[in-house]
Amino acid sequence: MPRSPLMDLAFGFMPAQIIYVAAETGLADAFTGDEPRSSAELAKETGTDAPSLHRLLRGLTGLGVVEQRGPDLFALTAEGRRLRADAPDSIRSLIMLFCGPEVWRTWGDMAETLRTGEYAWKRATGRTPFEFFASDAELSATFNRAMAEHTRDVAPGVIAAHDFGRYATVADLGGGDGTLLAAILRAEPGLCGVLFDLPAGLTAAPGTLEDVADRTEIVPGDFFESVPEGADAYVLKSVIHDWHDEKAAAILRTCRAAMRPDARLLILEQVMPEMLRPESAGIVRNDLNMLVSTGGRERTEAEFRDLLDGAGFSVVSLAGPLPPSAYHVIEAKPAG
């Protein structure tokens, strides 16, 4: 009987947890350079059981995260090094977040979300996502690092696609540790920036922005209440998709109230195709994650235009999809 692709998909949770456990235990950080190490040596470094770890290492070999150099000798692959906390292209925190116990429980409750239309995160944790992460410094740090890792990969495409040199001041709203704003300011030495987020999101910002601190203002606040006035461009990256239409429109109206008539709003999001193809799988998974985790959604171009129009904006341009994550830059201006 031929092997069923559907069966491979159904057991996809197994590789996810194999990689998560490697990230959670700091396994990649226990390797020294390219030198192979035994399961006993790695177990001592990670506080794990050596025979069990040996079996996990065999699983990681099958996933291309490590390679086997001997009966009990393993070395990290190039992809495996991305699990190191100190790797310049690390995705360890992204894996810790999206394969961690909270998201795991939330996706496990998807059937109830389909029955009720209510997102699962609060049922799984007792709090909204933002309340949950703000309540625990370690969890908040993991969330902030995960967002920074993702933004690091997206930033070059965004900067290449949009002329930030048009502006004197750019405000990054909900900008976390400032990874995107720092990249923009480094690309445009004449530009000044404002980083705006809840206090919990700004914890690591001074370090991220250290080399551009003389051109940056860090402002704590809540974009449902107000945002800083006077910027030439306002950036919302991966913000609007977190919220259902009513809340998303409230954020946009707050921005509209702070903007001059000649200012611009830049929404950085993926755009859901009207017609889906196999290569659309990533944005569909993101949309389902919003469904169960925040009650938000990924939107089509038409849905973005309707949302912006209702909040007092008109779309000027739409650029994208931008590699590597298929983001778009939606430029809008205050209407009328």
Q: What is the CATH number of the domain that holds 76?
A: 1.10.10.10
Residue range 316-321: mean pLDDT, rounded: 94
152, part of any domain? yes
Say yes or no: 188 and 318 in one domain: yes
Do both 170 and 279 map to the same domain?
A: yes
* 150, 241, 244, 328: the active-site residue: 241
Whether the per-residue pLDDT at 311 is higher than 80: the answer is: yes
Domain C-terminal end among 90, 117, 133:
90
Same domain as 205, residue 290: yes
> Which SS3 state, helix, strand or coil, does residue 216 take?
strand
- Residue 278 is predicted with a pLDDT of 86
CATH number at residue 318: 3.40.50.150
For the residues 31-43, what does the mean pLDDT come to?
94
pLDDT digits (tens, 9 = 90+) for 149-199: 999 999 999 999 999 999 999 999 999 999 999 999 999 999 999 999 999
Q: Which of 41, 64, 90 is the last residue of a domain?
A: 90
- Report how many domains make up the chain: 2
- Please name the amino acid found at residue 157: G
pLDDT at 1 over 70: no
Amino acid of residue 327 = Y
Whether 118 is in a domain gets the answer no
Residues 86 and 152 in one domain: no
**pLDDT tens-digit series, residues 209-222:** 999 999 999 999 99
Q: Is 111 helix (H, G, I), strand (E, B) or coil?
A: helix
Q: How far apart are CA 84 and CA 42, in angstroms?
A: 14
Q: What is the pLDDT of residue 94?
A: 97
Residue 119 lies in a domain: no
pLDDT at 260 over 80: yes
95 belongs to a structural domain: no
Percent of the chain with pLDDT over 90: 91
Based on the fold, state whether residues 85 and 174 are members of the same structural domain.
Answer: no
Contact 183, 159 (CB under 8 A): yes
Question: Could you identify the residue written with the tokens 């990874």?
Answer: 179
| pLDDT per position as a tens digit, 110-146 | 999 999 999 999 999 999 998 998 888 898 999 999 9
Mean pLDDT of 63-87: 97
Q: Are residues 230 and 318 in the same domain?
A: yes
Share of the chain above pLDDT 70, in %: 99
Residues of the domain holding 300: 148-334
Whether 244 is a known active-site residue: answer no
Does some domain include residue 78? Answer: yes
DSSP code, position 172: E
The answer to whether residue 336 scores a pLDDT higher than 80 is no
56 belongs to a structural domain: yes
* Rounded mean pLDDT, 214-239: 98
Which amino acid is residue 270, in one-letter code? Q
Across the range 276-281, mean pLDDT stands at 88
Same domain, 186 and 297: yes
